[in-house]
Amino acid sequence: MSGLQLDSAWEAVERGATLVEACEAAGVRGPARGSLLADLRLLLAGEERLNRLLPDLRAPHMRLVALRVLAGAEVSEHELRRAKIDAGGLRADEARLLAGADATLRLAQQGSVSQRVAAELRASLGEGAEEFLAASWKAAPLALRVNVARTTREALRARLTEEGLATEPGRWSPWALSVTAGGPLPPTRAFEEGLFEVQDEASQLVARLVGPLRSAPTVDACAGAGGKTLALCAELGTKGRVVALDISARRLEELKKRAARAQAFNLVVHRLPREGEEFPAPLRELEGRAARVLVDAPCSGLGALRRKPDVARRIDSALLARLPEQQLAIARDALRWLRPDGRLVYATCTPFRLENEDVVARLVAENGLVPLPLRDWLPLDLRALASDLASPVLRLLPHVHGTDAFTVHVLKRGG
């Protein structure tokens, strides 16, 4: 891989490309792609940290040298001269910054995030914020969700072994297999046949916690491309009905393709009308009938940092001001589908309280809902996920559970 390819890939990232898109933009494929992905991840993981120390250092290859110096790695004199970096001076500058920093700036510097992100993490996780960031900047293992409507975990594991893909059972989800080898997922017949999907264990667990019933509809109010939707369909087998809703026709088309591969015949897909559009008859008939409604709300996404290391650079004060209002509106609108004795599951892939507890508190106050304690909805085999079963919130964390970060509340109507 050349320096020009690294420059090209980093320019793509700065324009908003994902890491995979950046590799494509740089024309890097094959074995070199793994090296480029590692370099891009390192640049992202050290971006905020380095910006406070060397704000004018922009060349990616020079920034990589500086980050290796800060990490205590051995760097040759030739590399230092070429990058024009004083290793001792750089380390001393950071030491001085940390010595005069308050707790928020210290976390921001050591965890390489903005001060706003650091402040929200401290408010949400307290002393666990540093461990959260240390775990989140590491690449996540590849997790698969078994399509249990079509096969079993044991049968799929054996099938994948025959196809040359080694896996082991997941830690928490009964549907999970963890790929033991690194690198991208190789093509397999099992995937083409719809026997599994790629899905982190935390995301699988959110679907499990919905607890869909075979006797009444389950609504996924923010279905997107359908990872949790398809998990709900698989859990129900050929029974029940899952209704996937989203405002994006493009995402729903992707869901339909995935559902066809998975043979999820208990799925119904509807695009949500935009403001001013009339609700179609099938949606009017669904009002007040769902036993379970999942609101996997759009969020800051910091919980997926292990998989999307570019997400932290997109979180700013404007986004964090806008999201809670959007999340509250979506959850409030989703109540129209819930029957009187039904349950609303509110989940986000972020640990931030302002996107979770604060939104739920307003939802409770304004709509007469009651948050349920974990003992009422956390399955017995998952009780080890929580330390306080009287709490109404489950927070999955990479440094505690080895998963992406997700926060889950379950609510019912009062009265």
Positions marked active-site = 349
Pick from 6-10, 122-126, 130-134, 332-336: least confident:
6-10
pLDDT value of position 184: 80
Tell me what percent of the residues of the chain surpass a pLDDT of 90: 90
Res. 1: pLDDT tops 70: no
Residues 6+ positions from 163 with CB-CB distance below 8 Å: 188, 189, 190
Domains of the chain: 3-136 (no CATH), 201-413 (3.40.50.150)
- Which of 126, 129, 86 shows the shortest CA–CA distance to 110? 129
- Provide the whole-model pTM: 0.95
- Residue 348 contacts residue 297 (beta carbons within 8 Å): yes
Rounded CA separation 18/336 (Å)? 36
| Bridge partners, residue 346, by sequence | 295, 409
Number of Cβ atoms within 10 Å of the Cβ of 241:
20
In Å, the largest CA–CA distance within the chain is 73
pLDDT value of position 181: 86
Res. 139: pLDDT tops 70: yes
The pLDDT tens digits for 49-105 are: 999 999 999 999 999 999 999 999 999 999 999 999 999 999 999 999 999 999 999
If you ran DSSP here, which 8-state letter would residue 310 be given?
T
- Residue 328 contacts residue 369 (beta carbons within 8 Å): no
What backbone phi and psi angles, to 5 degrees, belong to 304?
A: -100, 20
Structure tokens at 89: 């001076």
pLDDT value of position 278: 87
pLDDT value of position 153: 98
Helix (H, G, I), strand (E, B) or coil at 411: strand
Rounded CA separation 42/321 (Å)? 29
Helix (H, G, I), strand (E, B) or coil at 339: strand
The pLDDT tens digits for 4-47 are: 899 999 999 999 898 889 999 999 888 888 899 999 999 999 99
